[in-house]
């Protein structure tokens, strides 16, 4: 899915305000603290609460392996002024059931409402379509998370409907809006893409 350019842990994407880079073992503490925040975890379908460090360590090994194999790309989000300090994650991974690759993301609560997640998501979506030759992406946003919907809409995603997903890590179900973005839609929406460059 991702070519050799992406498969080295020195790969990064820079935007106006952000540095997107491979996550490392040094990020485990920040991920545990920020993603383990109940408010953050509850806006996702996959982050358990409470979030244990061993779960984060296993996650880091898994996503770094996918990055290396080119079967996915998960990047740590950091301020350009402090590239070593993780504030969130954004990634594209193979979806279950053979569907198109799936865009997922979260941002630490203290940075909500700043537009940083829209900037990070747009940069990774651009990399996927422009540099990796991607053809289609899917994503979901919880119905009770309008900020996540806005992130997807700003990146050019189109709503496809609503479904109910079970949350095996916390029990229960929640309603999600399903989104898609194909190459033609990305080209139409890509006019002003955040200034991004890969290194």
- Tell me: the pLDDT tens digits for 75-121? 999 999 999 999 999 999 998 777 899 999 999 999 999 999 999 99
Cβ atoms of 81 and 87 closer than 8 Å: no
Q: What is the pLDDT of residue 197?
A: 64
For the domain 4-198, what is the CATH superfamily, name and number?
Answer: Gcn5-related N-acetyltransferase (GNAT) (3.40.630.30)
Whether the predicted pLDDT of 40 surpasses 90: yes
Q: What is the mean pLDDT of the chain?
A: 92
- Say yes or no to pLDDT of 194 above 90: no
**pLDDT tens digits, one per residue of 140-168:** 999 999 999 999 999 999 999 998 877 65
- pLDDT, position 195: 54
Residues 74, 26, 62: CA angle, nearest 5 degrees:
40
pTM of the model: 0.92
- At 173, the pLDDT band (50, 70, 90 cuts) reads confident
């Amino acid at each position: 899915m991702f070519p050799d350019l992406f498969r080295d842990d020195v790969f990064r994407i820079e935007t106006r305000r952000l540095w997107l880079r491979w996550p490392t073992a040094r990020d485990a503490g920040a991920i545990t603290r920020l993603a383990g925040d109940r408010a953050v975890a509850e806006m996702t379908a996959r982050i358990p609460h409470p979030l244990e460090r061993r779960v984060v360590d296993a996650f880091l090994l898994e996503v770094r392996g996918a990055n290396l194999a080119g079967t996915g790309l998960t990047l740590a989000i950091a301020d350009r002024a402090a590239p070593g300090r993780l504030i969130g994650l954004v990634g594209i991974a193979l979806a279950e059931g053979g569907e198109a690759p799936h865009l997922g993301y979260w941002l630490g609560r203290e940075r909500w409402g700043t537009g940083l997640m829209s900037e990070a998501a747009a940069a990774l979506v651009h990399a996927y379509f422009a540099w990796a030759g991607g053809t289609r992406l899917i994503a979901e946003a919880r119905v009770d998370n309008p900020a996540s919907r806005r992130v997807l809409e700003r990146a050019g995603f189109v709503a496809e409907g609503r479904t109910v997903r079970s949350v095996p890590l916390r029990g229960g179900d929640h309603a999600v809006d399903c989104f898609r973005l194909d190459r033609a839609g990305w080209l139409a929406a890509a006019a002003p893409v955040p200034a991004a460059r890969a290194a």
